[in-house]
């Protein structure tokens, strides 16, 4: 649905008339937000552009290793990023076979990398020690080699691997105990076989969903390692997606970029936050440009660094930083008035929403659809905002953005 202008909506303006599109929640005025307020470009990765870099964080440094530097090529190059200096260091090459379509992560100060393809699908697993700069090969997965699997490292030092593809797609699920170096097969994913899913951990629990098999999916699941059972969660509210990035931060999960349900680049670099307590998704500011196929990312402190991947034009090696501490999709502990901002009534049978606990600073407001795309700007007047008259029933998001880049998102239901 596209609403250009109707009651309650404010059209986007040119740079010369931004103040006309602003509004006041307190003294002052602000222009509508843009990705540039939230995403800042930092030092690019050395070497050629690539897709499928494997990323992890050790000791406050980000790492990127392997990936494809051409349409069908593989690599073994290895780099370290220093966020304090905003600089990259070239490290000795990865000693295993050159590869792409691999995945990895970190646990207890050590990095892990495995699987992927080097002409054929791989089942190996490697461990990296930054103190010695040495790689050690660990026991391989006692199952088919695969590319594009889910690769989840949980807080209790377990690696979960499953799905992916080789001659076909898989739905099996395996646990690797880092302490005992033992693989154990677990209950298969109850949904369809797939590759290139999105995944992350929240504490001890892996979350897996979306991806590509007999279609491109939007189903989503949580695995309980104690009961060895999967729980199907609410479907993703946007379109199905494949081959993006994912991570966890501060008890929530995040998915970023990729391709949509037509297996083409998403129109924007969609960014979503998952709240496990509510089983709900909320949109965050997209990275600049269209979505990317098979990019990389790592989280250092309160910032996510998003990098590389394939765009319609080329393989990229640029890096963008987003401060996760400056956004909130729901009430946050200690967030004060900003964390307790509410809209009422919700669900709403009408078109007017009253604002409660509004921060004493200027905020711009956007109405966002369930697909994460902006519908229009909104105005606040006399402690309330009015929605467009022609807005259909369903779930929407209202995003409040301040001039310094803080952002609060609230879900609303229109009856």
Distance CA 91, CA 81 (A): 11
Query: 160 and 67, same structural domain?
Result: yes
Of all residues in the chain, the percent with pLDDT exceeding 90 is 71
Bridging pattern class, strands 407-414 and 327-328: parallel
The answer on pLDDT for 1 being more than 80 is no
If asked whether residues 177 and 221 sit together in one domain, one would say: yes
> What pLDDT sits at residue 87?
98
Residues 183 and 323 in one domain: yes
Residue 127 confidence class, pLDDT cut points 50, 70, 90: very high
Task: Indicate if 256 and 320 belong to the same structural domain.
Answer: yes
Asked whether residue 349 is domain-assigned, the answer is yes
Domain extent, residue 55, equals 39-328
Phi, psi of 397 (to 5 degrees): -130, 140
Considering only 30-44, 71-85, 288-302, which range has the smallest mean pLDDT?
Answer: 30-44
Q: Report yes or no on whether pTM surpasses 0.75.
A: yes
Looking at 328, 361, 385, the residue that finishes a domain is 328
The answer to whether residues 167 and 316 belong to one domain is yes
List, in sequence order, every beta strand (DSSP E) within 194-326: 198-202, 205-209, 212-213, 215-216, 220-224, 229-232, 245-249, 252-256, 269-275, 280-287, 296-300, 303-307, 319-323
In a domain, 231, yes or no: yes
Q: Is the model's pLDDT at 18 over the cut of 70?
A: no
- 315 and 347 in a single domain? The answer is no
Q: How many domains does the chain have?
A: 2
Question: What are the tokens at 202?
Answer: 């929240």
Q: In terms of Cα–Cα distance, which of 255, 252, 177, 247 is closest to 211?
A: 255
Q: What is the pLDDT of residues 338-382, one digit of tens each?
A: 557 889 998 888 889 999 887 777 788 999 887 778 889 998 888
Domain harbouring 107, CATH code: 2.120.10.80
Domain boundary among 328, 357, 373: 328
- Kindly state whether residue 20 falls inside one of the protein's structural domains: yes
Does 118 share its domain with 195? yes
Q: Are residues 229 and 366 in the same domain?
A: no
Q: Mind listing the pLDDT tens digit for each residue in 154-196?
A: 999 999 999 999 999 999 999 999 999 999 999 999 999 999 9
Which of 296, 328, 360 is at the close of a domain? 328
What is the pLDDT, as a whole number, of residue 350?
83
Residues 317 and 198 in one domain: yes
Can you say how many angstroms the Cα of residue 27 is from the centroid of all Cα atoms in its chain?
35
Domain-embedded: residue 297: yes
In a domain, 24, yes or no: yes
Q: Which of the four pLDDT bands, split at 50, 70 and 90, describes residue 8?
A: low
Task: Establish if 4 belongs to a structural domain.
Answer: no
- Pick from 324-328, 362-366, 386-390: least confident: 324-328
Task: Answer yes or no: is 2 within a domain.
Answer: no
Extract the tokens encoding 5.
């202008």
Query: Whose CA is closest to 76, among 110, 126, 141?
Result: 126
Q: Same structural domain for residues 63 and 190?
A: yes
Residue 14: the pLDDT is 32
- Would 3 be classed as within a structural domain? no
Q: Are residues 89 and 194 in the same domain?
A: yes
Shared-domain flag, residues 301 and 338: no
């Amino acid at each position: 649905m596209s609403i250009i202008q109707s009651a309650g909506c404010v059209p986007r303006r040119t740079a010369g008339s931004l103040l006309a599109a602003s509004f006041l929640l307190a003294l002052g005025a602000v222009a509508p937000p843009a990705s540039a307020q939230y995403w800042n470009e930092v030092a690019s990765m050395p070497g050629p552009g690539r897709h499928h870099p494997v990323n992890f964080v050790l000791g406050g440094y980000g790492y990127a290793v392997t990936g494809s530097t051409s349409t069908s090529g593989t690599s073994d190059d290895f780099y370290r990023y220093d966020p304090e200096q905003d600089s990259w260091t070239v490290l000795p090459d990865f000693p295993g076979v050159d590869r792409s379509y691999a995945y990895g992560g970190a646990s207890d100060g050590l990095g892990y990398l495995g699987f992927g393809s080097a002409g054929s699908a791989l089942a190996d697993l490697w461990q990296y020690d930054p103190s010695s700069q040495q790689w050690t090969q660990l026991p391989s997965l006692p199952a088919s080699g695969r590319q594009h699997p889910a690769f989840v490292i949980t807080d209790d030092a377990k690696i979960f691997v499953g799905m992916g593809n080789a001659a076909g797609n898989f739905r099996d699920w395996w646990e690797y105990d880092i302490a005992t170096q033992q693989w154990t097969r677990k209950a298969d994913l109850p949904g369809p076989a797939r590759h290139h899913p999105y995944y992350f951990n929240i504490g001890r629990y892996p979350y897996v969903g979306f991806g590509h098999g007999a279609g491109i999916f939007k189903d989503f699941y949580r695995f309980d390692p104690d009961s060895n059972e999967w729980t199907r969660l609410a479907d993703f509210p946007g379109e199905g997606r494949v081959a993006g990035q994912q991570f966890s931060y501060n008890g929530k999960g995040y998915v970023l970029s990729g391709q949509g349900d037509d297996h083409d680049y998403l129109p924007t670099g969609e960014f979503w936050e998952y709240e496990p307590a509510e089983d709900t998704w909320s949109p965050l500011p997209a990275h600049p440009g269209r979505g990317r196929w098979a990019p990389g990312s790592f989280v250092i402190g309160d910032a996510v660094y998003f990098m590389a991947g394939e765009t319609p034009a080329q393989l990229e090696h640029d890096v963008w930083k987003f401060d996760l501490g400056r956004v909130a999709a729901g009430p946050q502990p200690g967030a004060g008035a900003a964390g307790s901002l509410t809209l009422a009534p919700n669900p709403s049978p009408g078109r007017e929403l009253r604002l409660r606990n509004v921060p004493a600073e200027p905020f711009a407001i956007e109405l966002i659809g369930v697909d994460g795309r902006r519908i229009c700007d909104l105005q606040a007047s006399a402690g309330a905002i009015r929605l467009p008259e022609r807005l259909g029933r369903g779930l929407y998001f209202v995003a409040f953005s301040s001039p310094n880049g803080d952002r609060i998102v609230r879900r609303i239901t229109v009856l």
